[in-house]
Amino acid sequence: MPKVVIFMGSLSDEEKMRPCSDLLSELGVDHVFTVSSAHRTPERTAKLVAEYEADGCQVFICAAGLAAHLAGAVAAKTTKPVLGVPLTASPLGGMDALLATVQMPPGFPVGTLALDKVGAKNAAWMAAQILALHDRELAAKIQAARDGFKASVEKAAASL
């Protein structure tokens, strides 16, 4: 049963969001990586949120570009944590998606990450950290990764 569901607004978002799915796989987090649009398939989006929540999903990650309402549409349908990844898809350089994702009305928060691949990776880390509140094994994997980041900085510093 997937603990995390990643929604993208379009298949054209896949390259930017693939690192999110890859990282969750590396951490051993069961997840779904799929496409559903707030505007083009609103009924499918609402239906999938209800179905995955009933199946035990704990965190939703939503990524979209342009007027990025996907995370908000999902947040309207669940009380599980919703993480939003704004994507660059227009001449506005992602500012459109960032503002659409982050400016939610009180009571319907979307935890908004950085744009594109950095946000995609941190959405996976954040989802894992949420799940790790009740999963010691996953918490240990996250700590091990942090130890690895620390070691790589120390190795780089020592190489100069």
Residue among 65, 84, 86, 119 that touches ligand RP5 (CB under 6 A): 65
Residue among 62, 66, 130, 138 that touches ligand RP5 (CB under 6 A): 66
37 binds ligand RP5 (CB under 6 A): yes
Q: How many residues does the chain have?
A: 160
* Nearest approach, Cβ of residue 52 and ligand RP5 (Å): 19
Among the residue ranges 7-15, 111-119, 123-131, 133-141, the one whose residues contact ligand RP5 (CB under 6 A)? 7-15
12 binds ligand RP5 (CB under 6 A): yes
Residue among 64, 98, 113, 124 that touches ligand RP5 (CB under 6 A): 64
Q: Which residues are at the interface with ligand RP5 (CB under 6 A)?
A: 9-10, 12-13, 37, 64-66, 87, 89
Q: List binding-site positions.
A: 10, 13, 40
